[in-house]
Structure 1
Amino acid sequence: MAQPAPHHYRLIVSCPDRVGIVSRVSSFIAEQGGSIVEANQHSDLDAGRFFMRYDIQSNALSAEDFRAAFETIAREFDMAWRLSEPARPQRLVIMVSRQSHCLVDLLYRWSSGELDCTIPCVISNHDDLRALVEWYGIAFHHVPVDPADKAPAFAEVERLIEAEDADSIVLARYMQILPPALCQRYMGRVINIHHSFLPSFAGAKPYHQAFERGVKLIGATCHYVTEELDAGPIIEQDIQRVSHCHAPQDLVRLGKDVEKAVLARGLRWHLQDRVLIHGNKTVVFS
């Protein structure tokens, strides 16, 4: 008789650093009939903080039993922790405005199996990209934003996100600022791509800001969204060399390639539970 497929879990831990954490957790997993198939660990010596990500397989232990049994260790080491189940992909809502390059890239990567998630819908403040999204069989919601009164639009956005039971939200060049209440509610679960190498050139038209400054490098930053504009914990960044020969439109063109790659990497790591937030910084087990 064929054996049932093993359960697959990810254990994510952050706690004060001290001797014995790895030994205690590893022993617990072995005692419960589990195997560690990937281990990631980091000690922040300045902060005195320990970070851990374990990929675990077990033929015996259910997620509910694991959580109940592990709670004793979590209390002993004062852990902030969670257990995720990769067999249940995250539900990802994408938000976009008119520029399509990041959305096109994410949808292609999702359809090809590179991004392990479910995309129940795309929300946009413009109707331009409806045909593209619906071609993939994904629901498209047009929610216009009135500059004079944005509250009704964001109330509808929040309703849609809640109705879709979203685990995470990605702003794929969504050119509106989320209200503080929405940022707070989904803290650590909203990912943005900003078209500059933060903290330089935050805010609007960063490529034009970079051109005026005469920079020789432009970049893009994938980060978590907070109430402070373009100031959340950074997940991933990359750069592109430019020169005095490049006009602002050249920077925009070159930057789009960087934006797509940076957003895809950052989102993939988030979906794989490889990003641990600590204050306004991240530990990324890439």
Structure 2
Amino acid sequence: MASVREIILTFSCQDSLGLVARVAGVFAERGFNITESSQFEDTDKKRFFMRTVFDCPVGVTMADIEALFQPVADDYQMDWQISDTACKPKVLIAVSQWGHCLSNLLNSWKVGSLPIDIVGVVSNHEVMRPLTDWYELPFHYLPVTPDTKAEQEAAIWRLIERSGADCLVLARYMQILSDELCRKLEGRAINIHHSFLPGFKGAKPYHQAYERGVKLIGATAHYVTADLDEGPIIEQAVERVSHVNSPEQMAEIGRDIEAVVLNRALRWHAEHRVLLNGSKTVVFSR
């Protein structure tokens, strides 16, 4: 097994006196150096969350590191993960007919500012094929009807398994995933919603916002669950509008927000900055 130069440790567990010292100490004794660290205690649940980046001593492998930390994790009954920063998460992107989020993600990936490895784009329409081809990525056209939904989702799952995708990103993919697929992808699928949840669900959200005379419109990125648009929220943003903005103008502003919010959420997920906390998240953003 190859040696590792830098790792990210994330964990959560019940808070306990001396926990941070124990974690830092076991790594310091073996020559690891902390370059970044964030922590948070949920005082209501008495649960502790931590994300730490370590420079590794020469020659250490991931198996060595996991064996080193396992006794600590067992003692504190942690939910934990150790990741090699050299290994970028593999991402499959699903899209329908709107390309603003897809274009943003592809451009960030191409210039190297988004730390992911895009393994392909899947769509129930052909519209985004030229854009995907321009980036020289595989495009998978999987049309769907109510009668073929189960078969189409099975094909998506085969794509995920075959490509080794760690994450499915719904970049304005206008299909509702089945409960079964949501369960398979728990904590591994990110959706962008065209409003500041829980407001304005359903069809024509910006027309709904216009009719209500809203002064702020926004977007929400969240993990996908079987409860429609109610998964743990990763990131949100808003933009001010006024009575002079038409529904079409609001939609244009909203698309810009959606692209930014989804990009930011995926970046934080890829950098292991998002820890699940029941129906919520702890996000150690920069």
Q: Distance in 1 between the 2:256 and 2:116 partners?
A: 23
Q: Distance in 2 between the 1:106 and 1:262 partners?
A: 11
Tell me the residue number matched to 1:96.
95
SS of equivalent residue, structure 1 residue 120: strand
Tell me the residue number matched to 1:7.
5
1:259 aligns with 2:258: yes
Q: Distance in 1 between the 2:119 and 2:148 partners?
A: 27
1:38 aligned residue (36, 40, 52): 36
Tell me the residue number matched to 1:114.
113
Q: Distance in 2 between the 1:67 and 1:240 partners?
A: 44
Q: Distance in 2 between the 1:52 and 1:216 partners?
A: 37
SS of equivalent residue, structure 2 residue 197: coil
Paired-residue identity, %:
50
Partner amino acid, structure 1, of 2:215: K
Partner amino acid, structure 2, of 1:58: C
Unaligned runs of 5+ in 2: none
1:187-213 Cα offsets, whole Å, 9 max, x none, are 001001101000112333222221222
Tell me the residue number matched to 2:237.
238
1:5 CA displacement: 8.7
Q: Distance in 2 between the 1:21 and 1:48 partners?
A: 13
Partner amino acid, structure 1, of 2:29: E
Written as runs of structure 1 = structure 2, the 5 A alignment for 1:7-156 is: 7-60=5-58, 61-156=60-155
1:141 CA displacement: 0.3
Q: Distance in 2 between the 1:184 and 1:241 partners?
A: 36
Q: Distance in 2 between the 1:90 and 1:276 partners?
A: 16
Partner amino acid, structure 1, of 2:278: G
Written as runs of structure 1 = structure 2, the 5 A alignment for 1:145-224 is: 145-224=144-223
1:69 CA displacement: 1.9
TM superposition score normalised by structure 2: 0.96
Partner amino acid, structure 2, of 1:125: N
TM superposition score normalised by structure 1: 0.96
Please report the RMSD computed on the Cα atoms of aligned residues, expressed in angstroms. Answer: 1.3
1:216-267 Cα offsets, whole Å, 9 max, x none, are 1100001100001110000000001111122211110110111111111111
Contact 1:203 1:229 in 2 (8 A): no
SS of equivalent residue, structure 1 residue 39: strand
1:137-186 Cα offsets, whole Å, 9 max, x none, are 10000000113331111111111111111101111100000111111111
Partner amino acid, structure 2, of 1:213: R
1:3-43 Cα offsets, whole Å, 9 max, x none, are x9961111001000111110000001101211111001001
SS of equivalent residue, structure 1 residue 51: strand
Larger mean CA deviation between 106-115 and 4-13 belongs to 4-13
Partner amino acid, structure 1, of 2:87: R
Written as runs of structure 1 = structure 2, the 5 A alignment for 1:268-283 is: 268-283=267-282
SS of equivalent residue, structure 1 residue 282: strand
Q: Distance in 1 between the 2:231 and 2:282 partners?
A: 14
Partner amino acid, structure 2, of 1:41: Q
Q: Distance in 2 between the 1:41 and 1:203 partners?
A: 37
Q: Distance in 2 between the 1:142 and 1:149 partners?
A: 14
SS of equivalent residue, structure 2 residue 226: coil
Unaligned runs of 5+ in 1: none
Partner amino acid, structure 2, of 1:33: G
